[in-house]
Amino acid sequence: MNAAVWNAIPAALPTSIRALMHAPVNTRLVVNGWVRNVRRQKRYWFAEIADGSSGQSLQIVAPSLLAKEGDLPITPGSCIKAFGVLQRSHGTGQELELLADDLQVTGPCDAGSYPIQKQGHSDEFLRTQQHFRLRTERMSKIMRLKSKLAHAMASWLHSQDFVQIYAPSITEHDCEGGGEAFTVSSERRPDFFPKDAYLTVSAQLHLEIAASSISRVFSMAPVFRAENHQTSRHLAEFWMLECEMAFCDTLDSLLNFAETFLRESCGLLSREATEMDDESRSRLLTTFGRPIPRISYADAVDILAKHPESFEYCPQMGRDLQSEHEKFLCDRVFRGPVFVTDYPAALKPFYMKLNPDSQTVACADLLLPGMGEVLGGSLREDRAHVLKESMERKLSPAACESLQWYLDLRKFGCSPHGGFGLGFDRLLQFALSVGNIRDVVMLPRTAGAIKY
Amino acid sequence: MNAAVWNAIPAALPTSIRALMHAPVNTRLVVNGWVRNVRRQKRYWFAEIADGSSGQSLQIVAPSLLAKEGDLPITPGSCIKAFGVLQRSHGTGQELELLADDLQVTGPCDAGSYPIQKQGHSDEFLRTQQHFRLRTERMSKIMRLKSKLAHAMASWLHSQDFVQIYAPSITEHDCEGGGEAFTVSSERRPDFFPKDAYLTVSAQLHLEIAASSISRVFSMAPVFRAENHQTSRHLAEFWMLECEMAFCDTLDSLLNFAETFLRESCGLLSREATEMDDESRSRLLTTFGRPIPRISYADAVDILAKHPESFEYCPQMGRDLQSEHEKFLCDRVFRGPVFVTDYPAALKPFYMKLNPDSQTVACADLLLPGMGEVLGGSLREDRAHVLKESMERKLSPAACESLQWYLDLRKFGCSPHGGFGLGFDRLLQFALSVGNIRDVVMLPRTAGAIKY
């Protein structure tokens, strides 16, 4: 950070520990943070404090007289404010430290009853303490990297002329069917909406409106599924990044774009997030740094059918791939990510573009090792008569009626187009190698989990 | 754009018109877009096409033979693909044009029944055509500027060590009370959640969890209000940008930060969004380019009470300010934006920090001319016993019970903190001087409006 930027930091907020690490020595500063640990020596008192602005902590050194035990209840977890001068550290493990001449405890913390203890806790225990678990080094780092991943993705998309669109979360469509959408209502005003209202399962249909004007659009927003999956990778509410592009007329060009997007945005994250560990950096590079193999659903089933002994459910043409099949393809066959393309039309939603074989659709799921699907995309059916037939076959008459506007898009200047949806939390889970998706989300929502 | 960046644009997507304007002349290109208008001369045929990547359109010139009437149904609204060579334009109004040697109509558009006609339409009519209205120049520009405003705000916050937090939309809290929260349920699984679930009205309480670990956090997400306001500035679903900051211990420092945030992010937008008109640029500079006056609620009521003849509702100490009062303060008294601070505690939610007078709370609403409130913020009550008393006075016993975690945050290392929520759509409405908030949102949701 250069001097100009340093000065531009608004005086409204005290200096963050991340910024302070770039300040000149001998600067007089006020710094705030939560105490990680404290140690007393005869003449000096030391505390390590963190403020979550980066993975770095700051050592505060004070004359023992200043921090007399009993006078100032400075314990792990307490929030303190230190006044002093930044200096080169005499100790090891840090370059800079703050020599304090005044200390205040702005938020005491009763060490006995504080749920977060120095020795560390299991992920399971921390899930019972969601209002405190972000104070652990691991969870605060996950949150910072999550924020940086989202910003890297948005920044790259902006550089490519993509426009972020804010599609509604409340919608009249329950399209993917199966009653997996939550319903929304107002207790006080039961007639608030003139018909049933649902929480969106995907912004895609709405994004197609925008793509037919602005060409390249994306949405980054929560989506909702009332599915009772109790797995390590499903949530009832999660954030999805969805891209939709006009003038995209082959599945290969769509997948080329998806690959480029993943490579460039994960690359940006790897370069900018200095606290990311080498293992994650290398996983992202290995996974997205080279072309991802593509295999058709039919070829995938052929391969899987040769290993019936490996599966609980026998892979069979015309049936959906199970998690165990996806895992086998990634872990045993491709030993890395793979796009599975061209599924049977019968297994996929009404809006996917029918291939010339009239049996399969121009779609792909991206499977990642140890994870399964993180991204699904397709060309969208842009021929009005083919779409109409597909809607009538797959949707209720009421749904067809309420989707007249979607059919109308095909009648007036409809470009070939396509897009994909990426499970943002899952991608992060993969990047950081986190076992359970509940641990990359501050307050996860699953069946039964509504606390907070 | 330099050559390196030019080459880096993934071949997966065809060149956008915005990018193409920076390409060298004589480049051979394929370009796609929607036809704005067409004109024929004896030897040449001209079409103006746009693709939404910027406010600019591109002129396509073709020998008349290539675009024979009848052969190619190129009408306004249709989507075409042109192959040709970029050259300096011989005409006026544009620097570059594409001399086409091949044309394809990828999406025909029946001129007779297409709802969007060249002569333009009223905002009211366009609201009945929400799946087509983004194709108007005005609406596509609003969407681009909306996306750029959001990115400018996020980029500035990132530069200041803020971390974006993804708080849940589904929550157990209906906190601000009054039954204004939507309820969420699953028809198929009535027991999906063990207790009533609501759509969030604000991420604030959840952000406080994150701020007590990561110090500076923000949320940019949809929030929901089942309020039956039929006005030009209320929606049932809107995006709110919320910032929450630890170590913020005076209302003035919070407002200084809010001012800096608005000045810097609107400044970034003004510099980067070349298509923003001078009027908007000047409005943003005038409004946010200098310190915003601050007046206490009590002083505001004193001033208003001197003009009883101006109001339908007589301003009175202890009663909430009405829209007409807010408008009077902005338009007649301050002739610009104003922060109204320190409202009576009785008028505000339980979490706001009680001032030393024990009557008012450390809060502020930012009022803008012609608009009213766009931002509301406060210090949060960080004293456990004061908070407990306020909760017990203002909330139901059940709500107090489910907010134990919120009280717990005060017991363990609680820093003084504060934050604000900004109505993102309203800020855009103000910046672009759009009369109705329904016209800055692709598919607005209000009481009765659920179509799409």
- With beta carbons under 8 A apart, name residues in chain A contacting B143: 163, 165, 210, 213-214
Q: How many CB pairs under 8 A join A and B?
A: 380
pLDDT of residue A47: 95
Considering only the beta carbons, identify the residue of A170, A226, A447 that sits closest to B237.
A170
- Using the Cβ of B197 and the Cβ atoms of chain A, whether some distance falls under 8 Å is answered with yes
pLDDT of residue A67: 73
pLDDT of residue B337: 98
Average pLDDT value for residue range A54-73:
85
- With beta carbons under 8 A apart, name residues in chain A contacting B382: 107
Considering only the beta carbons, identify the residue of B139, B214, B414 that sits closest to A143.
B214
Give the three-state DSSP class for A372. strand
Show the tokens assigned to A322.
């199970």
Q: Which residue of A has its CA nearest to B416?
A: A106
H or E stretch at B145: helix B137-159
Q: Which residue of A has its CA nearest to B79?
A: A413
- Whether B199 sits inside 8 A of A184 (CB atoms) is yes
Show the tokens assigned to B184.
């969420």
- The Cα–Cα gap between A368 and B235 comes to 40
Shortest alpha-carbon distance between residue B277 and chain A (Å)? 19
Per DSSP bridges, beta strands A216-224 and A163-164 are parallel
pLDDT band at residue A176 using 50, 70 and 90 as cut-offs: low
The pLDDT of residue A4 is above 60: no
Q: How many CB atoms lie within 10 A of CB A363?
A: 27
Considering only the beta carbons, identify the residue of A164, A237, A257 that sits closest to B169.
A237
Interface ipTM: 0.96
- Long-range pairs, B17-24, Cβ under 8 A, ≥24: B17/B49, B17/B50, B17/B51, B17/B53, B17/B54, B17/B56, B17/B57, B17/B58, B18/A161, B18/B53, B18/B54, B18/B56, B19/A161, B19/B53, B20/B58, B20/B86, B20/B96, B21/B54, B21/B56, B21/B58, B21/B95, B21/B96, B23/B86, B24/B86
- Whether A179 sits inside 8 A of B197 (CB atoms) is no
- The Cα–Cα gap between B6 and B14 comes to 12
Exposed/middle/buried for A94, CB within 10 Å: 0-12, 13-18, 19+?
middle
Q: How many helices (H) and strands (E) does chain B have?
A: 13, 16
On the CB side of B232, CA atoms within 13 Å amount to 13
Q: How many CB atoms lie within 10 A of CB B22?
A: 11
pLDDT of residue A120: 87
Give the CA distances from residue B337 to residues B252, B331, B372, B377, B423, in Å, rounded to whole numbers and listed in that order: 16, 9, 9, 15, 15
Look up residue A412 and give its DSSP letter: B
- Nearest residue to A327 (alpha-carbon basis) of A231, A254, A441: A231
Instruction: Lowest mean pLDDT of A64-68, A121-125, B306-310, B405-409, name the range.
Output: A64-68
pLDDT of residue B303: 97
pLDDT of residue B120: 87
pLDDT of residue A11: 56
Considering only the beta carbons, identify the residue of B195, B216, B246 that sits closest to A450.
B195
| Residues listed for chain B | 452
- With beta carbons under 8 A apart, name residues in chain B contacting A199: 169, 184, 199
pLDDT of residue A111: 85
- Nearest residue to B420 (alpha-carbon basis) of B234, B260, B227: B260
Packed helices B137-159 and A137-159: angle between N→C axes, nearest 10 degrees:
140
Q: Which residue of B has its CA nearest to A154?
A: B151
Tens digit of pLDDT for each residue in A416-444?
999 999 999 999 999 999 999 999 999 99
- Using the Cβ of B12 and the Cβ atoms of chain A, whether some distance falls under 8 Å is answered with yes
pLDDT of residue B355: 98
- The Cα–Cα gap between B211 and A51 comes to 9
Tens digit of pLDDT for each residue in A267-314?
999 999 999 999 999 999 999 999 999 999 999 999 999 999 999 999
Beta bridge partners of B37: B48
Shortest alpha-carbon distance between residue A88 and chain B (Å)? 23
- The Cα–Cα gap between A92 and A99 comes to 15
- With beta carbons under 8 A apart, name residues in chain B contacting A272: none
- Using the Cβ of B352 and the Cβ atoms of chain A, whether some distance falls under 8 Å is answered with no
The order of strands in the sheet holding B197-199 is: A170-171, A197-199, A183-185, B183-185, B197-199, B170-171
Shortest alpha-carbon distance between residue B361 and chain A (Å)? 20
Q: Which residue of B has its CA nearest to A257?
A: B12
- With beta carbons under 8 A apart, name residues in chain B contacting A104: none
**B30-66 residues labelled b (16+ CB within 10 A) or e (exposed):** ebbbbbbebeeeeebbbbbbbbbbbbbbbbbbbeeeb
Average pLDDT value for residue range A16-41:
93
The pLDDT of residue A27 is above 60: yes
- Using the Cβ of A246 and the Cβ atoms of chain B, whether some distance falls under 8 Å is answered with yes
Shortest alpha-carbon distance between residue A77 and chain B (Å)? 6
pLDDT of residue A6: 35
Mean pLDDT of chain A: 93
Of A179 and B23, the one with more pLDDT: B23
Q: Which residue of A has its CA nearest to B55?
A: A214
Give the CA distances from residue B226 to residues A106, B277, B448, in Å, rounded to whole numbers and listed in that order: 39, 35, 11
Tens digit of pLDDT for each residue in A366-379?
999 999 999 999 99
Shortest alpha-carbon distance between residue B304 and chain A (Å)? 31
- With beta carbons under 8 A apart, name residues in chain B contacting A144: 163, 214
Q: Which residue of B has its CA nearest to A196?
A: B450
Q: Max CA-CA distance within chain B?
A: 85
- The Cα–Cα gap between A336 and A428 comes to 17
Beta bridge partners of B373: B367
Please identify among residues 382-401 of chain B the ones whose CB lies closer than 8 Å to any CB of chain A: 382
Rounded to two decimals, the pTM is 0.96
Average pLDDT value for residue range A115-126:
91
Shortest alpha-carbon distance between residue A282 and chain B (Å)? 23
- With beta carbons under 8 A apart, name residues in chain B contacting A14: 247
- The Cα–Cα gap between B284 and B368 comes to 11
- Using the Cβ of A81 and the Cβ atoms of chain B, whether some distance falls under 8 Å is answered with yes
- The Cα–Cα gap between B164 and B216 comes to 9
- Whether A185 sits inside 8 A of B188 (CB atoms) is no
| pLDDT by position in tens, chain B (length 452) | 233 333 344 457 889 999 999 999 999 999 999 999 999 899 999 999 999 999 999 999 999 888 776 677 899 999 999 999 999 998 777 889 999 999 999 999 988 899 998 888 999 999 999 999 999 999 999 999 999 999 999 999 999 999 999 999 999 988 666 679 999 999 889 999 999 999 999 999 999 999 999 999 999 999 999 988 889 999 999 999 999 999 999 999 999 999 999 999 999 999 999 999 999 999 999 999 999 999 999 999 999 999 999 999 999 999 999 999 999 999 999 999 999 999 999 999 999 999 999 999 999 999 999 999 999 999 999 999 999 999 999 999 999 999 999 999 999 999 999 999 999 999 999 999 999 999 999 999 999 989 99
- Using the Cβ of A299 and the Cβ atoms of chain B, whether some distance falls under 8 Å is answered with no
pLDDT of residue B9: 41
- With beta carbons under 8 A apart, name residues in chain B contacting A170: 182, 224, 236-237, 445, 450
- The Cα–Cα gap between B251 and B247 comes to 12
Per DSSP bridges, beta strands B183-185 and A96-107 are unpaired
**Chain centroid offset of residue B148 CA:** 10
Strand boundaries in A18-95, DSSP class E: 28-40, 44-50, 58-63, 79-88
Q: Which of B7, B18, B57, B79 to mutate to test the interface with A (most CBs of A within 10 A)?
A: B79
- Using the Cβ of A407 and the Cβ atoms of chain B, whether some distance falls under 8 Å is answered with no
pLDDT of residue A9: 41
- Let me know: does B72 contact B62? Beta carbons within 8 Å: no
Considering only the beta carbons, identify the residue of B143, B161, B215 that sits closest to A165.
B143
On the CB side of A277, CA atoms within 13 Å amount to 9
Q: Which of B2, B5, B13, B428 to mutate to test the interface with A (most CBs of A within 10 A)?
A: B13
Place of tokens 């989300």: A441
- The Cα–Cα gap between B353 and B364 comes to 12
The pLDDT of residue A175 is above 90: no
Show the tokens assigned to A344.
């049977």
Exposed/middle/buried for A121, CB within 10 Å: 0-12, 13-18, 19+?
middle
- Using the Cβ of B139 and the Cβ atoms of chain A, whether some distance falls under 8 Å is answered with yes
Exposed/middle/buried for A93, CB within 10 Å: 0-12, 13-18, 19+?
exposed
Rg, Å, chain A Cα set: 26
Packed helices A137-159 and B204-214: angle between N→C axes, nearest 10 degrees:
110
- Whether B163 sits inside 8 A of A52 (CB atoms) is yes
- Let me know: does A217 contact A165? Beta carbons within 8 Å: yes
- Let me know: does A417 contact A217? Beta carbons within 8 Å: no
pLDDT band at residue A3 using 50, 70 and 90 as cut-offs: very low
Shortest alpha-carbon distance between residue A220 and chain B (Å)? 9
The pLDDT of residue A72 is above 50: yes
